[in-house]
Amino acid sequence: MAAASSLTARPGAALTGSVPAPGDKSVSHRALILGGMATGVTDIEGLLEGEDILATARAVAAFGAGVERVGPGRWQVTGHGGFRQPDTVIDCGNAGTGVRLLMGAAAGYPIPVTFDGDASLRKRPMKRVTGPLGDMGARFEWLGDEDRLPLRLTGGALKGLTFTQTVASAQVKSALLLAGLNASGHTEITEPERSRDHTERMLRAFGAEVQVTEQGQGWRIRLAGGQPLTGAAVSVPGDPSSAAFPLAAGLIVPGSAVTVENVMLNPLRTGLFDTWREMGADLEITNRRESGGETVGDITARHSALTGVVVPEARAASMIDEYPILAATAAFASGQTVMRGIGEMRVKESDRIALMARGLVACGVAVEEEPEGLIVTGGPVPGGATVDTAHDHRIAMSHLVLGLAAQHPVTVCDPEMIATSFPGFVALMQGLGADIEAG
């Protein structure tokens, strides 16, 4: 797949079968980073071995930790109680989560570090993290355009920070908490809405004390500086963001019944599933159980007659990465699906609002694009288009799923970036009966 210049999805037979969910991307990043900051051995099971995560693994090794792959999805990180000065540029590839969390972690140590990434990552704003880290005492030098990679960070001598987010962001929150571990005093973060809490959960697993207090629709997180971390065993649950793609195909391809196993059911990550149910989706969750501090379960999606809904804006933080695939499924729903309060999508790997609108329109779907929103009017989807993905994995996968239920094939360009988050996506979908081919 890496050499393919395009992928084409064609409508065909019903999709059936059970597949495992790939390891959660957010948890995988954090397991590697915390393992590198800790003292002792961290054994990780189920690590997502996508390009973004492998970039973080290389970075953690460059910071002085022992990082070894001991089997499929099984990794061992041996930490030495903190980051050491790397002798190379920390190249995070396309990993926005990786670079922002690594900057937060590195800021706590008295070392200079240069961070860089690929052409896509160089376009993504960094001041949302460097600003508050600078207020804690970290120093930054822009080596190219301001607010963009590459940059040089010099850390150490940090002071705790009281910070109120205007928009809930797990990346910003996590960067500040990781920096706060090695700051004097307390670091306190208030969120207007709840963002994913994997960092708080995992910090506790590594021995840190984190206080979380509900505050309206959001919460306040407080962490004392000077807390050492100890290596831990981490079992990575399946990624709901990745599970969304085969499940969406199950909902929109007639006659289908698709099961994805071991999906994380953390309520801060299941906004898409709640939305689909409101649209009339036949989703069944079985085999609920606890794994690695998270609730997981097996989700079965059956072909459903969907109806458009207005997605609550407060739900955005729990499903910000899933709006592209929601937009694709909304194309098959009767009526309008209104998605607002999602301006964050414009500063992801691409401008996902613009690209989804453009791709859906090319496929014959009625779409209204707003500055911070998208309105999709569903109905029969002609398809028959070639979609520009701008090297964005979620745009590519969303349109491939769309093509499986459209009237005519849908082709996406530059599909190699799918490997950043979902290696094996094409083979998995083909195993369910999907007609997706290169060329």
Residues annotated catalytic, as ranges = 321
Nearest to residue 118, comparing CAs of 94, 149, 90?
A: 94
Report the DSSP beta bridge partners of residue 418: none
3-state secondary structure at position 28: helix
For strand 282-291 and strand 294-302, is the pairing parallel, antiparallel, or unpaired? antiparallel
Contact predicate 14/253, CB 8 Å: yes
Residue 376: strand pairing partners: 337, 367
In contact, 73 and 22? CB cutoff 8 Å: no
Residue 121 in tokens: 């990552």
Distance separating alpha carbons of residues 357 and 366, to the nearest angstrom = 9
Sheet holding 257-264, edge to edge: 16-20, 257-264, 294-302, 282-291
Q: Which residues contact 54 (CB under 8 A, 6 or more apart)?
A: none
Residues in the chain: 439
From CA 158, how far away is CA 179, in angstroms rounded?
8
Q: How far apart are CA 179 and CA 362, in angstroms?
A: 45
